Structure formats: structure tokens, C-alpha cells
A and B are shown apart, each in its own frame.
Chain A
């Protein structure tokens, strides 16, 4: 329970402060909406520029990447998609509000509704900015890994004989033998002893 009592006679300074606060309140929803629109344009431009930049320069696909790193790029792009969509929705929600149905009976005055909406929109705007910047971060990381990640190595050759196997890269055929470069140097395996030749991603 709140009790009211007469206050001291306010000064002109008090009046100006109260007027400023009143004007601030009256315009706050409008200002949040405008801020959201400005951020929407700015962040949208940033994303468009980034995507364009990523497409123009460097390796344009991840097929040249080592497999583990290709998975990393895929995850980063997934992260970019999720944060991008979520961020865009949050900013749109801040800029345009959310359709809502309320009970007429306990509908507070418009000023209260507008203020509530302004606070919610400001919150959505902050979330949208963070998420969109997160999306930018994911995209930059994905492009960076695509450009600078380790190149996929040639597939390894596995040559098996009845006594064991050799794994390495193909060097040449020499007479009736196959020469494979393994970790311990070049190995010459007579073809007559080979029982199986296969491939492997790595030794």
C-alpha cells in the first residue's frame, strides 16, 4: 500500500526534469524502433559485405580441406546460420513489435503498454546485435579456416602382402615392384607378393 502526501513546492528545475522525463517516455518506443531499424540496416550491410568478400577471395569451397577441418567449417557455418537467423528475428521483433492479444479487463494504460513494449524491444535489440555479431564472427572464422586450414593430403596407399603391409604414398612402378614412400622411407614391394592394394585417408 502506497500513501500519498503533498510534496514540497517544486522548482523550475524540477519542472524541466519532469518535462524531459515525460517527453522521453512519450518518445521512447519510437526511438527504440528507429534504433532497431538503423541497426538492421547497418548489420545487414555488414553481412552482405562479408559474404561478398568471402566469395570473391580465397578458396571458395571446403573440398580442398583436410576432412577434420571441413567438419569445423561446417560447424562454423551452422553456427553462423543459427545466430544469423535468431539475430535477424530479434532485430525485426525490436523494430516492428510482436502481435499480441491481451485481455481488455486488465489492460493497463497505453503509456504503460508502450513503455513495456519499449523495454522488451530494447532487450530484443540488444540480443539481436549480439547474435548478429556472433554470426559475423562465425562467418569470419569459417572463411578463415577455409582459406588457411590445412590442405587435404593425397590419399594414402596401403599395400598388403602375406607378411604384413606398407602404408604411404605411391612413388613409382619399378620393374615388377611397386615403390611406396612410407614414414620410414621408400619401400619396394615385389608385385608378386602383393595380396591386396587399397586406399586410406591417412596412414
Chain B
């Protein structure tokens, strides 16, 4: 019953070339510490501001090797906390996903 800013976006796993283009323009990236990047910006579908940490290593219990290098292209899924009707229990976000390219620029 709040002051909703627009129509309710239902949960739907969708992608579009436009998502990637918009995110590349609006997202920022920051190196938090060695091996940890933080992407941040508004979701191109639901507009919620999300932050996506990208790690080199993730702990896995019971086998599996840690040490996966961050790929050049990252698939990003929306991880907003807002309610999106139809979202499965185990998921977060609005369902939007896209890819973003990370490149070491001239520093």
C-alpha cells in the first residue's frame, strides 16, 4: 500500500541486448580489495539499485577447486530485494539478466 513509483514488475527471467548496453553505461565498478570487484548500478529492468560483488574465489564444501579466474564477461542477474510477483522462493531480484564486459583500461 506504499507509494509505489510505477507498475509492479513481475518476476521473469528475461534478457535483452538493451540491458547490457544500459548497464555498461550506468554501472560503476570498483576494486574493493585484491580479487574482489564490486559492480553497482540500477537494474535495467526494475530500476532497483543493486550491487554485484565479483570474487575470484568461492568456498565450496566437499571438493571443487577454488581459484576460478574472473572471466572477461560476467553474467549479471538482478539481485534486488524488492517484491516481484511470481518469484520462486530460492531466487532474488526481478529475473533480468545480462552480460557485462570487464576490461583493464589504460590507467
Residues of A within 8 A of B106 (CB): 1
Residues A28 and B20 in contact, CB atoms below 8 Å apart? no
Residues A19 and B77 in contact, CB atoms below 8 Å apart? yes
Residues A7 and B77 in contact, CB atoms below 8 Å apart? no
Closest to A18 in B: B75
Closest to A34 in B: B61
Residues of B within 8 A of A19 (CB): 77, 91
Residues B24 and A6 in contact, CB atoms below 8 Å apart? yes
Residues of A within 8 A of B102 (CB): 2-4
Complex: A3 Cα to B76 Cα, angstroms = 16
Counting chain B CB atoms within 10 Å of each CB, the highest count among A22, A31, A35 belongs to: A22
Given the known interface contacts A3-B103, A6-B101, the answer about A35 and B36 at a Cβ–Cβ threshold of 8 Å is no
Residues B98 and A21 in contact, CB atoms below 8 Å apart? no
Residues A15 and B75 in contact, CB atoms below 8 Å apart? yes
Given the known interface contacts A14-B75, A18-B77, A32-B61, the answer about A7 and B100 at a Cβ–Cβ threshold of 8 Å is yes
A162 interfacial by beta-carbon distance below 8 Å: no
Counting chain B CB atoms within 10 Å of each CB, the highest count among A6, A9, A24 belongs to: A6
Complex: A164 Cα to B36 Cα, angstroms = 81
* Majority SS at the chain A contact face: helix
Residues A28 and B59 in contact, CB atoms below 8 Å apart? yes
A141 interfacial by beta-carbon distance below 8 Å: no
Interface size on A, residues (CB 8 A): 36
Residues B100 and A4 in contact, CB atoms below 8 Å apart? yes
Complex: A115 Cα to B102 Cα, angstroms = 21
B16 interfacial by beta-carbon distance below 8 Å: yes
A159 interfacial by beta-carbon distance below 8 Å: no
B80 interfacial by beta-carbon distance below 8 Å: no
Residues of A within 8 A of B17 (CB): 6, 9
A-B contacts, CB under 8 A, total: 120
Interfacial residues of chain B within 24-47, with CB under 8 A of chain A in the complex: 24, 27, 29, 31-33, 36-39
A49 interfacial by beta-carbon distance below 8 Å: no
Residues B91 and A15 in contact, CB atoms below 8 Å apart? no
Task: Say how far A109's CB is from chain B's closest CB, in angstroms.
Answer: 5
Residues of B within 8 A of A7 (CB): 20, 24, 73-75, 98-101
Interfacial residues of chain A within 1-40, with CB under 8 A of chain B in the complex: 1-10, 12, 14-15, 17-19, 21-26, 28, 31-32, 34-35
Residues of B within 8 A of A34 (CB): 61
Contact of B29 among A2, A21, A115 (CB under 8 A): A2
Task: Say how far B4's CB is from chain A's closest CB, in angstroms.
Answer: 26
